[in-house]
Amino acid sequence: MKFSTAKLARTIGWRPIVSYFLLIFVFFALLKLYPVTRENAFGVALLSLPFAVLLAWIMLKRVIFPLNLIAEAAQEMARGNLEKEIKIYTNDEIGDLARSINLLASRLKHTVEDITDEKNRMHAILNSMADGVVAVDSAGRVLLVNPVVERALGISGQASRGKEIVEVVRHYDFEKYLKEALVNQLDLRREIQVLTPDPKIYSVHFTPLKGSDRGGVVALFRDVTEKRQLEQLRNEFIANVSHELRTPMTSIKGFLETLLDGALDDRDAAEHFLKIMSAETERLTRLIDDLFALSNIENRKVLPKKEPILLEDVVEKVVSILGQSASDKDIELTTSMAEDLPRVMADEDMITRVIINLLDNAIKYTHTGGRISVEAGRDGERIFVRVTDTGIGIPEESLSRVFERLYRVDRARSRECGGTGLGLAIVKHILEVHGGSIEVTSSLGRGSTFTAYLPL
């Protein structure tokens, strides 16, 4: 084993070496001096010196140096380094001590590794959870915030540890519920609205920490914004449908009562009323048909009967059906078909309906004397049909909503034209079940362009 005397002096100190040396020196001197009194003291000293040095050397090698090594290793362990092994393999007490300490270190190392593993696993689980987690201790101070909550609430988990919850999640109700769960040790499920960074609704489940001496509460965040929005859409839809159904019904009922009250005898009036009733009934039927069609496509009850069809034929057919109403309004209707359009796999009836709806809208919302063009062509791996009109156009804020069920830019005008408010929703859904899409551009007062795409 290599070591320098300077280092040895520094780590052990001079005192033990000197005292060992002196002790042994004096012992031998006395031993020698006792029987042979003729020898002088100098001779005795000279004689015992080598023995003393030898013994001291042995002592140093066998006891002091190994003990020093063990002390060093123990200090290393205290500092957290459990990798260091004490390399003493002797068969005495010192060797035993070294082996025990080595064993202690390796046991400790395993325990620490287990705990670290456990901690990492917990960390990984918390980090990869889709739900947000906030945990607080019994005093309401933040113990833990997982990345989902960090993102959702725009806070930093590291900076929020140990702070009071109100400093971290500034939300009056959230804090109130948390305290409620903490004080009463109760499970709570509440919804809270978070405003920043984006307005969102979270369903939060507060659970008291069980099996922990220090108490506390865990709050689980689940984003339910979309769910609530869908529910709201559905409620709006039901309200709208009831309204749409009630309007013609009220009218029919009114005329029926008038007829029963005696208007039946006035033949001219009766005929006029009946005509109105018939028109209203037709509107009701149309609405119910459209609702039915939409629901069928949406719920995938009716699958498209796909066969190779030629868009030219479909457009031609639709133009022949609607050509009359266009010319009634003095609208110039032009068609332009790209040559050699390939056939597309689609349900002919459904696609006919798409083009009818688009062209019918164009005619409805274009002034007398306007122009409408229907184009069909190929755009990469897609076939498109484009209906462009010079009509009243759609305001920008409504553009994204025109494909919603029963959404109308101008309720009064749409009803006047006999629309059900479902036409474009049906178009969108038909194209979607075909794997296609629809786009719209418009400028208010100048006209709109609807482009339907079908994949090849």
Partner 1 sequence: MSRYAFDKSLREIQNDILRMGSLVEQAIFDSVDSFMNQDVTVAAGVIMGDERIDELFLEIEDKCVKIIATQQPIAKDLRVAITGIKILLSLERMADHSVDIARSTMCLTGHPMIVRPVQEIPRMARMARQMVKDGLDAYVNRDVEKAKAMCAMDDQVDFIFSHVFKDTLACMEENPQVVVQGAYLLYVSRYLERIADHATNIGEAVIYLVTGERRELN
Q: Virtual CA dihedral for 64, 66, 72, 77, nearest 10 degrees?
A: -140
How many residues belong to the chain? Answer: 456
Q: According to CB under 8 A, which one of 171, 200, 386, 405 is a site residue for partner 1?
A: 171
Sole window of 80-88, 161-169, 222-230, 234-242 interacting with partner 1 (rule: CB under 8 A): 161-169
Residue 330 interacts with partner 1 (CB under 8 A): yes or no = no
Question: CA-CA distance, 81 to 87, in Å (whole number)?
Answer: 16
| Closer by beta carbon to partner 1, 199 or else 211 | 199
* Whether the Cβ atoms of residue 438 and residue 425 lie closer than 8 Å to each other: no
Q: According to CB under 8 A, which one of 167, 266, 282, 439 is a site residue for partner 1?
A: 167
| Long-range contact pairs involving 30-39 (C-beta distance under 8 Å, separation at least 24) | none
Torsions phi, psi for 320 (to 5 deg): -70, -30
Question: CA-CA distance, 326 to 405, in Å (whole number)?
Answer: 26
Residue 164 interacts with partner 1 (CB under 8 A): yes or no = yes
Residue 170 interacts with partner 1 (CB under 8 A): yes or no = yes
With 0-12 CB in 10 A as exposed, 13-18 as middle and 19+ as buried, what is 248?
Answer: buried
| Closer by beta carbon to partner 1, 321 or else 409 | 409
Q: According to CB under 8 A, which one of 1, 15, 91, 199 is a site residue for partner 1?
A: 199
Q: Which two tokens stand for residue 166?
A: 């109100």
Residue 158 interacts with partner 1 (CB under 8 A): yes or no = no
| Span 288-327, contacts to partner 1 by CB under 8 A | none
| Closer by beta carbon to partner 1, 170 or else 378 | 170
Q: How many other CB atoms are found less than 10 A from the CB of residue 378?
A: 13
Residue 412 interacts with partner 1 (CB under 8 A): yes or no = no
Residue 175 interacts with partner 1 (CB under 8 A): yes or no = yes
* Whether the Cβ atoms of residue 409 and residue 393 lie closer than 8 Å to each other: no
Residue 229 interacts with partner 1 (CB under 8 A): yes or no = no
Q: Which two tokens stand for residue 81?
A: 């380094």
Q: According to CB under 8 A, which one of 213, 340, 381, 397 is a site residue for partner 1?
A: 397
Strands 332-337 and 371-379: what pairing? parallel
| Closer by beta carbon to partner 1, 223 or else 316 | 223
| Closer by beta carbon to partner 1, 16 or else 140 | 140
* Nearest distance, CB of residue 127 and partner 1, angstroms: 25
Residue 200 interacts with partner 1 (CB under 8 A): yes or no = no
Sole window of 33-41, 168-176, 378-386, 418-426 interacting with partner 1 (rule: CB under 8 A): 168-176
What is the per-residue DSSP string for 9-68? HHHH-HHHHHHHHHHHHHHHHHHHHTT-TTS-HHHHHHHHHHHHHHHHHHHIIIIIHHHH
Angle value at C-alpha 260, between 257 and 261, nearest 5 degrees: 85
Question: CA-CA distance, 201 to 147, in Å (whole number)?
Answer: 18
* Nearest distance, CB of residue 106 and partner 1, angstroms: 46
Residue 193 interacts with partner 1 (CB under 8 A): yes or no = yes
Q: Per-residue contact track with partner 1, 423 to 442, x per CB under 8 A?
A: --------------------
Contact residues: partner 1, CB under 8 A: 164, 166-167, 170-172, 175, 193, 195-196, 199, 397
